[in-house]
Chain A
Amino acid sequence: MKNLLRLHTSLKEEIEIALNAQVKMEAEASHKYQAMASWLEQNGYEHSANYLYRQADEERAHSLKIFRYINEMGGSAITPAVGEVTLDFTSFRSVFEAALQSEIAVTHAINRIVGKCRQVDDYATESFMMWFVNEQREEERNARRALELCDLIEETGTGKYTLDKEIAKISAEEE
């Protein structure tokens, strides 16, 4: 009797399920960033809106990266259903607080997948996920830096304008 499962995929079912859940989470993160960017745009923060629109694109790329990995490994990637995102922010700062919260949740999820990989000896997926571990370190740092700038620059008068421009520089700083 052949090992039919192994012939088709090296992904254990629980890993495949966890990866598909992550595909969905990254897609949701993309939607959240888009909603945040929209609020910023509507409130005149053009530069930081652009920054978050780029973040939305990045999250979408993360989702796709995992999606294609699942298929590459012989699993079945599931196109996620992502619901409507309605985010209403009370201030510029609250946008970036939400961004940090979201990134922290993603980091936890990524770490849980790595833990699962070790449990079932799936070192290929662990190695694939390490890219995301490093990515999250950066994402969290950027989100914290944005909040730091909010503390440094007062959100009144021309401060708003400076803040908008400074935050847009964050992603340029990382390169």
Chain B
Amino acid sequence: MHAQSYQTELYKNERGVTWQCDLTNTIVIDFEPFRIRLRLPDFNTFRRKVNGIDIRAMLFDLSDAADYQVLEAPKAQSAYRLTLCELIQLRDLLNGTRFALELSSLLHETLGEIVITD
């Protein structure tokens, strides 16, 4: 749990961590080397983009260029070179986050719109 109570951790892996910020209705993605804050639609687009990268093709492509994937982080106005391993970890982080969001939503619906604390 994050120090500030309006931020709830959603998902964490070896490489990064994500939070939901109830103050701004955004998702914070902390993934070295970037930290970005996204609205849900932007998060969805970003996740779709990352999921859309053909990792198999990267694996079987022997050229040097295929060892890295250049990824533009939305709203960060910069691009990052991610290794295959980083890409897989980022994908895991985003999909895990999505799962946590869905689980939270499901709990809200099942339990009614009562305040869910940690």
Contact = CB atoms under 8 A, between A and B. Distances in A.
Contacts of A74: 41
A4 B41 contact: no
Contacts of A9: 40
A4 B118 contact: no
B32 interface: no
Contacts of B41: 8, 74, 76
A99 B54 CA distance: 35
B101 interface: yes
A1 interface: yes
Interface in B8-27: 8, 20, 22, 25, 27
A5 B25 contact: no
Interface of B: 8, 20, 22, 25, 27, 39-41, 44-45, 98, 101-102, 104-105, 108-109, 113, 116-118
13 contacts: A1-B8, A1-B104, A4-B25, A4-B27, A4-B40, A4-B101, A4-B105, A5-B40, A5-B105, A6-B105, A6-B109, A7-B40, A8-B41
